[in-house]
């Protein structure tokens, strides 16, 4: 990650994204009526305890999601593309902190990106901690490409009760930013849901929620835009690039 410093001429922006930004690319959200947690219980598929109890079930859950994420008809949508344009054209640093484990931000062209809940297209070895690009199913018969151990590969995702990734860099970027945007997240999962409060404590940055509808934490933000991400994010980015940070104000 680049240095997260901000100056008046080069104000930095931190963007938290969640499942809502990938919904129009064909990937399910978690807590909507048709979401993943309506079909699966968190404690069965997304905790270290679930994996210890029934690794095949947990691997099967992520194998199905990996197949979905690499499907030919899944592409970055206009919201992902607009954020990549913002990073390329904004005079200061733009950091995307995503809770999503898909690779749609990378495929849109974003470079300064932290996957705080891990990456679906990587496997991690619990024996040697090696990380490996992985587009196929992970099975208990697979050997770690680095150390050769059998049955020790797990999805490189952060389960409930595990420590999210990149928190030190995220914390410094939040403290330095002039604008914090939260896109397509319900504000249910911590520590991500608390980032807006961390930003507001310092009182230096504007805070904006962009979501289909007001989230759990909507009242914590000073400003908001509501609608499908593929409409509201490109419009918001266009405003920032033409009028600067003041474009964030208003609802």
Catalytic center residues:
117
Return the number of the residue (12 or 25) whose C-beta is nearest ligand BV8. 25
**What would you report as the CA-atom Rg of the chain, rounded to the nearest whole angstrom?**
18
The only residue of 110, 152, 207, 215 in contact with ligand BV8, by rule CB under 6 A: 215
CA atoms within 13 Å, Cβ hemisphere of 17: 28
Residue spans of beta strands (DSSP E) within 74-212: 94-98, 113-115, 118-125, 131-133, 153-157, 179-183, 206-211
Phi, psi of 21 (to 5 degrees): -75, -25
Is the distance from CB of 74 to CB of 26 less than 8 angstroms? yes
CA dihedral sign, ordered 219, 220, 221, 226? negative
**DSSP H helical ranges for the chain:** 20-23, 42-45, 48-53, 55-69, 78-89, 104-108, 167-176, 195-202, 229-243
Nearest distance from C-beta of residue 86 to ligand BV8, angstroms: 17
The answer to the question of residue 35 lying near ligand BV8 (CB under 6 A) is: yes
Site for ligand BV8 in 117-136 (CB under 6 A): 117
The only residue of 23, 122, 156, 206 in contact with ligand BV8, by rule CB under 6 A: 23
Spatial CB neighbours of 128, under 8 Å, sequence gap ≥ 6: 144, 146, 147, 149, 152
The answer to the question of residue 213 lying near ligand BV8 (CB under 6 A) is: yes
The answer to the question of residue 182 lying near ligand BV8 (CB under 6 A) is: no
| Dist CA 238 CA 78 (whole Å) | 12
The answer to the question of residue 178 lying near ligand BV8 (CB under 6 A) is: no
The answer to the question of residue 69 lying near ligand BV8 (CB under 6 A) is: no
Site for ligand BV8 in 99-118 (CB under 6 A): 99-101, 117
The answer to the question of residue 211 lying near ligand BV8 (CB under 6 A) is: yes
Return the number of the residue (6 or 119) whose C-beta is nearest ligand BV8. 119
Nearest distance from C-beta of residue 8 to ligand BV8, angstroms: 31
The answer to the question of residue 161 lying near ligand BV8 (CB under 6 A) is: yes
| Dist CA 76 CA 171 (whole Å) | 27
Return the number of the residue (12 or 100) whose C-beta is nearest ligand BV8. 100
The answer to the question of residue 189 lying near ligand BV8 (CB under 6 A) is: yes
Interacting residue ranges for ligand BV8, rule: CB under 6 A: 18-20, 23-24, 29-32, 35, 46, 99-101, 117, 157-164, 167, 184-186, 188-191, 211-213, 215, 228-229
């Amino acid at each position: 990650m680049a240095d997260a410093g901000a100056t008046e001429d080069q104000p930095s922006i931190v963007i938290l994204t969640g499942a809502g930004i990938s919904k129009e690319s064909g990937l399910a959200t978690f807590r909507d009526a048709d979401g993943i947690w309506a079909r699966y219980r968190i404690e069965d598929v997304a905790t270290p305890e679930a994996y210890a109890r029934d690794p095949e079930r947990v691997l099967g859950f992520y194998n199905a999601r990996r197949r979905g994420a690499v499907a030919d008809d899944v592409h970055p949508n206009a919201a992902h593309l607009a954020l990549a344009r913002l990073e390329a054209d904004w005079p200061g640093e733009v950091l995307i902190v995503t809770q999503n484990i898909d690779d749609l931000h990378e495929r849109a062209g974003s470079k300064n990106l932290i996957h705080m809940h891990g990456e679906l297209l990587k496997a991690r070895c619990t024996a040697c901690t090696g990380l490996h690009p992985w587009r196929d199913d992970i099975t208990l018969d697979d050997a770690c490409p680095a150390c050769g151990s059998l049955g020790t590969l797990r999805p490189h995702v952060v389960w409930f009760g595990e420590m999210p990734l990149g928190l030190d860099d995220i914390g410094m970027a939040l403290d330095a930013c002039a604008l914090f945007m939260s896109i397509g997240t319900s504000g249910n999962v911590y520590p991500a849901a608390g980032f807006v409060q961390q930003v507001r404590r310092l009182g230096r940055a504007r805070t904006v929620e962009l979501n289909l509808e007001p989230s759990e934490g909507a009242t914590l933000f000073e400003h908001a835009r509501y609608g499908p991400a593929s409409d509201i994010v490109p419009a918001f980015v266009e405003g920032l690039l033409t009028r600067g940070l003041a474009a964030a104000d208003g609802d």
